[in-house]
Each structure stands twice: as C-alpha cells, then as structure tokens.
Amino acid sequence: MAKDRDDDDATERAAAVVTTTVKSGPIDAKLSAASTIEAERMVTVHAESTGRLVDLVFEEGDVVESGKLLGRIRSDMQSSGLDRASTSSAKAKADLDTIEALFAQKVASKQEVDAARLAYRTSLLDVSDRKRDVRNTKIVAPMAGTITQRVASEGGFIASGAQIATIVDFGSLVARVYIPERELDRVVVGRPAEILGKAALGRRGTGKVSRIAPVVDATTGTVKVTISLPRELAGNKGFVPGMYAEVTLTTESRTNATLVPKHVLVRDDDEVFVFVIDASGSDGPRARRTRVELGLVDDVNAEILRGIEVGAEIVESGQAGLKDGALVELVDGTGQRVEATTASASVVRVDESATREGA
C-alpha cells in the first residue's frame, strides 16, 4: 500500500486551465484626465455711468445679440451736462466768429484769436465727453451669447463700474487637461477626444484637440492641452461652464493588432509573459511560459508585438502559480474538459462516464 501511495505522489497532476485564442483586431491607446468645462468667450457687463437702473429687459438664460440694449441708467444729470456743454460751445463759437471779424479789421490781436480758437476747440471736446456720458447710460451687450448671471435689479442705484450681468458664448466651451510630458508626442491637434460628465450624468460627447501649449510646466512636468467642444454639446441638456468632466484622448490607433486579453499577462519584474498551450506532447498538453513584448494596452486588451502569433492558444484563466512546462487539463468556463488545438479554441465535450471507465 505504501508503494502505491508513492507512485501516486510521483504522478504529475495536471492543472485545470481555461484557454483562449490570440486574435487580430483594432486597439486604441487612450489617456484620461479630469477637467472643468470653461468658456473661452465670457464677459462681465459693467455700468459705465452712475445713476438709477431703469428698463432692464433681460433675464438669466436669455440669448442676446451683440449690441442689444439690455437696460438704461437714468440720464437726467448726463443730459443736463450735455445741454450746458452745448450752450458753452455755441457761445465759444460766437466769440470766435466775433474775434476773427475784429482781427480781419485789425482791431483784435493774433493772441486773442488763438485764445478764442482754443476755447472753441475745448468746448467741442467737452460736448463730445458729455455725449459719451449720455451714451454710457445705455447698457448694451458687448458680444453675442447667453445671459448666465444677472446681478443688478431694476430700480437700484449703481455706481460706475458696478457689475450688471455675465454673458457666455456657449460656442466657445473648452476642456483643459494636463498630460504628462512623456505623452506629448502622442497628442496631435485635431484628434478627437471623448468628454464625459462626471457629476451631471448623461452628458457625453466628442470634442477635438484645438491647442497644445508650447511649454512644459517645470513644476508638475505636464503640458496643457485644450479640447474644444462643439456647440451641440453645450446648453441646459449638455455641458455648461464649471461642470466637472473626464476627458479621454485617443493617442494612438492600430487596426490589425495581435491581441490578447489584458488579464492573461503574467509580469515578472520588468518582463511580461503568457502561457502558450503546447499540445504536441504524448502525455498531454503543457503550458509553455513565453516572453512577449507589449504594444498598445487599453482597458480590455493588450497588443503583442513579439512572442506569439494570431491563432495561438493561450491560458486565459488558471495561470496563477503555473510553472513553465506544467502539464495542464483544458476546461471551459463550466469546468468541462476540452481538447487542445493549435489552430482554434473549439470546445469538445468529453463523456465523464467513459473517462472513468478508461481510467
């Protein structure tokens, strides 16, 4: 009995593994970074005069054109100033005409004429300033866009420089991300970028890289990349300034890459291996530890540049603790035995009762 036990211990036991076939297909290298949506064209409308606000004709969310009248500041004082300046200018013109006539009769001096001309020119400048004061009582939109904030209220008294509203051009939304310096050569202007809203669910779309900063931030070792959003992604149902988003850049693409599932990779220090099924032995299939060179890697697959070829059968599950050359028993996801093949991973069911009789 002891001898029988020794013979059983000496018999190599096959490790159960699930296999898959190396395939060919497309793969993209992606780079993700967090960003806050910004508007490149955003202005704050300020009061350019002092007085009481009247006739405010806008609300938050209104779309306005450049030059549209948004409201007025009561202009009694500014209009009175213009009247006084106009009266003074008319008197200065009359005085100049009189002095010039006297000068022509050699009654007035050249100095008197020059002084009268200077007074008239000064009065014209004063009239121009007072006209500008009157114009400044009109509050107009400096650019086309959407009113995103209304600060002032009709009837309130404001001083020159006070904030009235904020206008945003939703056609200028961008996301700015900072990528590592080592990725700089893989990012190209014009390449698409996926944008996904993180807090506001359902916001998703595709922008494109519009600018890459010409310098590297020496403190962080990163480069600023600006992604522009198409206008159809902006608005109440899309992205708005201040929204938190995740940006995914496609840095490289391959169409006919040699692909394996990423989880089949076995790492040993700086080297990467996969277990390839060798079905040529007479005692059953064995797993050969094969070193591979990786290319692009995404969330699911890894590209193999060297080491194995399309069609090879590799261990997909059960490789933990597996040694090079280990005897293996091929099973499917339900634990049923399958036959090894060098061309494909076709599954062949084995009758368990027949197996027991053969044993």
For residues 79 and 72, the answer to whether their CB atoms sit within 8 Å is no
Structure confidence at residue 145 (pLDDT): 92
**Mean pLDDT, the chain, integer:** 86
For residues 39 and 172, the answer to whether their CB atoms sit within 8 Å is yes
User: 183 exposed, middle or buried (CB, 10 Å; 0-12, 13-18, 19+)?
Assistant: middle
Structure confidence at residue 337 (pLDDT): 75
Mean pLDDT over 283-308 rounds to 91
Q: How confident is the model at residue 10 (pLDDT cuts 50, 70, 90)?
A: low
Structure confidence at residue 290 (pLDDT): 94
Structure confidence at residue 352 (pLDDT): 36
Q: For residue range 260-280, what is the model confidence (pLDDT) as tens digits?
A: 999 999 998 889 999 999 988
Q: How confident is the model at residue 235 (pLDDT cuts 50, 70, 90)?
A: confident
The three-point CA angle 21-26-28 to 5° equals 120
CATH 2.40.50.100 intervals, the chain: 44-74+137-168
Please compute, for residue 185, the number of CA atoms within 13 A of its CA located in the half-sphere on the CB side. Answer: 1
Q: For residue range 166-216, what is the model confidence (pLDDT) as tens digits?
A: 999 998 999 999 999 988 888 889 889 999 988 877 789 999 999 999 999
Looking at CATH, the fold of the domain delimited by 76-136 is given as: Helix Hairpins (1.10.287)
Mean pLDDT over 6-15 rounds to 65
Residue 35 phi, psi (nearest 5): -155, 160
Tell how far CA 243 is from the center of its chain.
11
Which of 147-151, 242-246, 329-333, 342-346 has the least mean pLDDT? Answer: 342-346
Q: How far is CA 279 from CA 20, 247, 282, in A?
A: 14, 46, 8
Q: For residue range 123-163, what is the model confidence (pLDDT) as tens digits?
A: 999 999 999 999 999 999 999 999 999 998 888 998 999 99
DSSP state letters, 55-100 = -----TT-EE-TT-EEEEE--HHHHHHHHHHHHHHHHHHHHHHHHH
Mean pLDDT over 86-99 rounds to 94
The CATH architecture assigned to 44-74+137-168 reads: Beta Barrel (2.40)
Please compute, for residue 329, the number of CA atoms within 13 A of its CA located in the half-sphere on the CB side. Answer: 11
Structure confidence at residue 340 (pLDDT): 60
Structure confidence at residue 45 (pLDDT): 94
Mean pLDDT over 309-323 rounds to 89
CATH 1.10.287 intervals, the chain: 76-136
The CATH architecture assigned to 12-27+255-358 reads: Beta Barrel (2.40)
CATH code of domain 29-42+172-254: 2.40.30.170
Residue 103 tokens, joined: 């000068």
CATH 2.40.30.170 intervals, the chain: 29-42+172-254
Q: What is the 3-state secondary structure (H, E, C) of 202-215?
A: CCEEEEEEEEECCC
DSSP state letters, 20-32 = EE-EEEEEEEEEE
Residue type, 70: L
Q: For residue range 207-232, what is the model confidence (pLDDT) as tens digits?
A: 999 999 999 999 999 999 999 999 88
CATH 2.40.420.20 intervals, the chain: 12-27+255-358
The three-point CA angle 179-185-187 to 5° equals 60
